[in-house]
Each structure stands twice: as C-alpha cells, then as structure tokens.
Amino acid sequence: MTVKTEIDCFFLNLPPHFLARSKGCCSPRCLQSTQATVIIINTKLQLAMETGSSPTAQQKRKRSGQVLRFEPQNLDLFEGNPNFIDSFRQVGCYRFCEKMQGYHKQIAIDFALNFDGIKTKVGPLEIAVTPDSIAAATEIPRQGEEWFKVQRFKLANCDDFLIKEHKGADLTDGVPKSWLEKHYQQFLKIIQRFFTCEGRYDTVRQYHFKLLLHFTGKKMLDIPFYLHRSLGKMSDKVQKTPQAAEKHLFHFGLIKLLVLEELRKLGRDWNTFLFLANYQPEILETPLRRGTPNSRSRATPSKQGISSTINNPPSI
C-alpha cells in the first residue's frame, strides 16, 4: 500500500479493515468487504472532488456552528398566520418577501467585495446601491426614521411583546426569546429570516424590539435605509477577510434582487447575464416554491439574444 492510499483512507474516513486489506491482510472479514469498500471509495472520492472537501470536513463545519444566512425562498413561515401577512403588508414589506427568487453565492461574494457604499460591480455590471435603489428593487417604501441597529435609542412601548411575568423588565442587554409572547416569537423569526438574516434566534436584542415596533406599525422605520447600512456592514467584514467571505455573507436574496433590477433597466435577462459574465448556474439560484412543478424549464439564451447583448454590453 502506498503512502497516498493511507492518506486517502484517513481523509475519506474509510473503515479500518480496508487499510489492513491493502497492506496484505487476507482475513475473511477483509476479503468479504473489499468489493463494498471499493464502492465506498468511489462514492466518497466523487463527493470530495465535487465539494472540494471530505465528508469528515463537512461534518466538522456543521459541528462548528456555522449557519447559512440566506433568506427563505418561500412563504411557509407565514402559513397559518394571516395577521402576520396583514402586518407586513401594512408596512409595505410583504411584497419583498414574495419577490425572493433564490440567490447566487459567487455573485453575492463579488457584490460584497466591490461594494464601496454607493455602488458595486458584479462581472461587467455596475450597480448603484443606495436606499432609493433598494426601495426600487424590493418595492419597500421609504418612510419613517432613518435608523440602523448600531445607533442608540430609548425603548418604549415594548411591554406588549412580553409575557406577563416579564413586563417592565430591563431590555438593555437582551432577553431570552422565551420572554416574548408566543405569537411574537414566530413574528420576530420572520423578521430575522428576511431582514436581519442572523441565523440564530435564541436572544432578543434591543434592535429586535425596534424592528418589532416597526412591523407592528407603532414606530415606522426607513427599511431601505436599514438594508443599505446592513449591506455596508456585511461588505466591510467581507473585504477585511476575503479569504473567509462566506462566513460573513448574508442578504443573498436581496443582492440578487438588486442585480435583477439593474438587468431589467438594461433590458437584459438573468440567464444571459450568467452566461456572458462567466458565472456558473448554482443549484439553489432559483429554488422551487411550494405548489410549483417539480422542474422548472430554464430559458437557453438564443444566438440572437447573446449577439445583441455582446453588441450592447452593460455599462461599466
């Protein structure tokens, strides 16, 4: 057995008896398992080559607590809660949730790496990124206070969100989510999944109460302004440690909506843009929604469409 084979056995987390068999062991147990082990090798090698890591490494990543911070691609969180839908509609945010069209990880990385606070660049496409452009892409109106979660503020009128035992509690340092009324726990989770993209939901911070006040119509906020500042904060972290970009990325769906809005203004379509900008389609870029067919046909760019886009490329 070569050193490489020993390394492969360790890397792929193969059964110990395979290592013994490869070193010349001819016990019945080893001989009987050889064929099955070869299948295991082929399967795990293929998985490792496709993902760029071993199954063992993937398990370690799961145990490390890393979370995926992309927005939901359906409206299941609203299911059975028509009052939540009404609340989101009244503040002009439900349409944003409806517009989610999947995401593209590499485009999100390029967006964050190139964002300077007012514009970014994705492939050949230069995109203005302002509160107004976010309002246009998301259809969320600009209204209320321009606020972001790093700004200090006084909490008021938050007792309605808390269960009886904790009304009047000091909320300065955050409280367990269990302190919220049951329906507000689910309501906040929807806000976190679509707007703050945090990935962890066990603690309710001060800024969560500020957002609850907005989404219940008690204290209106300028949500496009909030999202613009949030994109900036996320991009700053990505640019400081580009080698660990995926760790800091979120707002995947919002980023795709901004790209789609720019393409719409230029008369371009998503699939043609991916083709010409050398982006690979990703499995989850257009996830299926509940109630849709199991497969969705993808429009292949026609020669005429490709030629037209090449002759009139997006401005840089």
pLDDT above 70 for 219: yes
What number of CA atoms fall less than 13 Å from residue 255's CA on the CB side?
Answer: 33
* Co-location of 197 and 160 in the same domain: yes
Residue closest to 153 by CA, chosen among 203, 104, 98, 221: 221
* Co-location of 126 and 266 in the same domain: yes
* Co-location of 92 and 216 in the same domain: yes
Grouping H, G, I as helix, E, B as strand and the rest as coil, residue 145 is strand
* Co-location of 218 and 267 in the same domain: yes
Give the residue numbers spanning the domain of 33.
3-63
Residue 149 burial (C-beta neighbours within 10 Å; 0-12, 13-18, 19+) = middle
φ/ψ of 7, rounded to 5, equals -65, -45
Decide if 96 contacts 139 (C-beta within 8 A).
yes
- pLDDT, tens digit (0-9, with 9 covering 90-100), for 71-100: 998 999 999 999 999 999 999 999 999 999
* Co-location of 46 and 142 in the same domain: no
Kindly state whether residue 294 falls inside one of the protein's structural domains: no
Kindly state whether residue 306 falls inside one of the protein's structural domains: no
Kindly state whether residue 303 falls inside one of the protein's structural domains: no
Place of tokens 């035992």: 165
For residue 164 the two structure tokens come to 């009886």
* Co-location of 214 and 277 in the same domain: yes
DSSP 44-107: HHHHHHHHTS-HHHHHHHHHTT----PPPSSSGGGTT-HHHHHHHHHTT-HHHHHH-----HHH
Kindly state whether residue 309 falls inside one of the protein's structural domains: no
Contacts of 109 by beta carbon, 8 Å cutoff, 6+ apart: 238, 245, 246, 249
Alpha-carbon dihedral of residues 194, 199, 202, 203, nearest 10 degrees? -70
Decide if 167 contacts 159 (C-beta within 8 A).
yes
More confident call, 310 vs 183 = 183
Interstrand relation of 125-128 and 119-122 (parallel, antiparallel or unpaired): antiparallel
Read off the DSSP letter of residue 179: G
More confident call, 199 vs 125 = 125
For residue 160 the two structure tokens come to 């309605």
Distance CA 35, CA 51 (A): 25
Distance CA 137, CA 116 (A): 19
What pLDDT score does 25 carry?
52
Per-residue confidence band for 241, with pLDDT thresholds at 50, 70 and 90: very high
* Co-location of 228 and 84 in the same domain: yes
Distance CA 268, CA 262 (A): 9
Most confident segment among 4-18, 31-45, 204-218:
204-218
Mean local confidence (pLDDT), 121-144: 97
Identify any residues that bridge with 221 across adjacent strands, giving them in sequence order.
Answer: 145
Kindly state whether residue 311 falls inside one of the protein's structural domains: no
Number of domains comprising the chain? 2
For residue 144 the two structure tokens come to 């209320």
- pLDDT, tens digit (0-9, with 9 covering 90-100), for 150-161: 877 777 889 999
Mean local confidence (pLDDT), 256-280: 95
Decide if 88 contacts 97 (C-beta within 8 A).
yes
For residue 202 the two structure tokens come to 């066990």
Q: Can you give the pTM of this predicted structure?
A: 0.70
What pLDDT score does 67 carry?
56
Distance CA 19, CA 197 (A): 45
